[in-house]
Amino acid sequence: MKNLKAQFKLIIYLFLLLNTPNILITKNLDKFSNSRDIANYFSGILSKNNYQYKKSYYYLKSLNNLEDIHYTYSQHYQHSLVALGKFKEAASYTKKLNDKKLDNFESNLISIIYHVENEDFKNASLYLQKLENNSQPGTVRDLVSKSLNIWLNFKNITDLSSGLKLLDTIPKRFNNMKNIQKTFVYCYFDSPKTDKMFKQLTINPNVDYSRYNFFYSNYLISKYNEKKAQEVLSSSLEQNPKNLILNQLKKDLIKKKFNNKFECKNTTDVVAEIFYVVANALSSQNNYIASNFYLNLAKYLNPNFVSYDSLYAENLFLIKEYEKAKKIYNEIKKQGSTYNWYASKQIASILSEQNQKKNSIKSLKSSFKRLENPTIYEIFDYAEFLKNNDKYKESINYYSDVLRSINSKNALYGKVVDGRGIAYERTDQWDKAEIDLLNSLNASPNDAYAINYLAYSWIEKGVNIKKSLAMLKKANKLRPNDGYIIDSLGWALFKLKQYKEAKKQLELAVKFMASDPVVNDHYADALWMNNKSLQARYYWNYVLKLEKTEEKLKKEVKQKLLFGLKS
């Protein structure tokens, strides 16, 4: 029996060593009391890394006091607690760690946030120094600890200049975050220059601070200057017409019911926004575990801010936790008409990903019908959705509705005629499609995908092939690593009988799109024309095995396998 236990421990040890990036996970396995504890720990980590927090909580909670012998256990456990919104339990556990002198960055951060949310700033401050001791200079943790130190110290500061000096502690690499916090500092101290600071922040040409027009408008509303708030919103929406939070605020102003609650004089609200920015940056780096950790802290501090829920649902969508994402989107739908439409689109996308195409279409059709006076952007969204779900004829009607409401100078024009042009082409109305696709290029001459679609369509029809080749060379420069464009470029060369060069391009396209039937078929054709018949047959056979290969292409490929290609 002892031998079996030792073998089991060795298997788990090797598996953890080979499949987890942190060697500390395996460091103290020999101190585990029994094989069941090892299995629970392994299952807990695996569940957490797969975003199954209920399971990870169950497994890790069973390992009471494991933090005494294994440092990283407490971090995994705390992530699970925060992900499940068990903040009271997380705070109790961090106190336990503190009493044992086993604190870490997560435990000190959770303690601070728990006390801040309960307006116990004195106890929150006790953990600040410990938090900084667990932070490395110039890291995200350093940014978080320095930011918390700034905003907790404001309780002891009465003047703006002292508050601004504290900002100098923010690491230089986080200058954008410093600019955001600087504006909030002016707002916190109710400085007459707050209006000017918001304006300077939001008009920065080098960084997209459009989100902060919400906070600017929110500040103006708090000062009973709704007229200027509306002007700020209208101006910002001209530049960012699909900005979710700004569109909802515009509607909230009319109804006098505000879905996003924020006060810059409220420390918890500002800290929550800082965590949101950190979470957003981590999400863009595909670090969803850390992103969700900070998002849940933000949601705990300010549960009445829909942006935090929308990013959390987006993270869940990206990690394919579809049911959890749908649950959040259904809650977001209740937060206003703009959020309703946004969440409905996301739910429809999830249903598509779950191979429920009919339900996806039915769901968004129903949501669109319930829209009162839909904007041109909502109509465009719906047209795009229909086109992307092969409802080409229906999409044409909605694209045309949008075009009747805008002119060729509108920023949306190029996208609308491009979408309608594709829908026309897919419904065998080439004359109309060509006009729209050319108009799309006139509106957006550097749109690589618009160039590609028109050029490839011409190649398939056997017209303007030399012109198409020149266009595709341009598209390839604009998007040098796009498999579709490289394939089109290779196919143009093939049609011009430049087989050697065509083979080079199509070989590259296959590397980018190894499972695309059309790309592999094109490459096989090029191989055949370069006297590589054996390799060509290999790729044609491969095309027949691909799930996405359409019946028409299968028939063509079978003919090629029998008779080859004519020169």
> Do residues 137 and 253 lie in contact, with contact meaning Cβ atoms separated by under 8 Å?
no
Q: How confident is the model at residue 40 (pLDDT cuts 50, 70, 90)?
A: confident
Contact 292, 48 (CB under 8 A): no
Q: What is the 3-state secondary structure (H, E, C) of 408-429?
A: CCCCCHHHHHHHHHHHHHHCCC
What pLDDT score was predicted for residue 333? 94
- What residue has token string 């992103």? 291
Estimate the crossing angle of helix 322-332 against helix 337-353, to 10 degrees: 160
Mean pLDDT across 515-544: 97
The structure tokens 């700033």 sit at: 121
Cβ 57 vs Cβ 84: under 8 Å: yes
- Please answer whether residues 244 and 342 qualify as being in contact, where contact means their C-beta atoms are separated by less than 8 angstroms: yes
For the stretch 309-324, pLDDT in tens is 999 999 999 999 999 9
Contact 102, 94 (CB under 8 A): no
pLDDT of residue 450: 96
> What value does the mean pLDDT take over residues 339-356?
95
Q: Could you say which DSSP state residue 159 is in? A: S
Neighbour count for residue 446 (Cβ, 10 Å):
11
Q: Where exactly are the structural domains of the chain?
A: 1-121
Q: What secondary structure letter does DSSP report for 240?
A: S
Task: Determine the Cα–Cα distance for residues 294 and 247; give it in Å rounded to an integer.
Answer: 26
34 secondary structure, DSSP code: S
Contact in structure between 307 and 315 (CB atoms under 8 Å): no
Those residues with Cβ within 8 angstroms of residue 54's Cβ, 6 or more apart along the chain or in another chain:
84
- The single-letter DSSP state of residue 319 is T
Give the model's confidence band at 3: pLDDT under 50 very low, under 70 low, under 90 confident, else very high: low
| Average pLDDT over every residue of 369-387 | 95
Which pLDDT value is given to residue 69?
80
Cα–Cα distance, 197 to 186 (Å, whole number): 7
Quick one: three-class SS letters along 201-213? HHCCCCCCCCCHH
Compute how many other C-beta atoms are within 10 angstroms of the C-beta atom of residue 255: 10
* Cα dihedral across residues 393, 399, 403, 404: positive or negative: positive
Of 381, 339, 183, 385, the C-alpha closest to 264 is: 183
Which residue shows structure tokens 């933090």? 67
| Residue 25 clears pLDDT 50, i.e. is over it | no
pLDDT tens digits, 189-218: 999 999 999 999 999 888 889 999 999 999
Which pLDDT does position 23 carry in this prediction?
Answer: 43
The average pLDDT across 122-129 equals 87
226 vs 232: CA distance, rounded Å = 10
pLDDT score for 32: 53
Per-residue pLDDT of 489-528, as tens digits, reads 999 999 999 999 999 999 999 999 999 999 999 999 999 9
Question: Do 94 and 111 touch, CB atoms closer than 8 A?
Answer: yes
Evaluate if residue 554 carries a pLDDT over 70.
Answer: yes
| Range 288-298 average pLDDT | 95
Average pLDDT over all residues of the chain: 91
One-letter amino acid at 325 equals A
Share above pLDDT 90 across residues of the chain, in percent, rounded to a whole number: 75
Q: Check if the beta carbon of residue 422 is closer than 8 Å to that of residue 435.
A: no
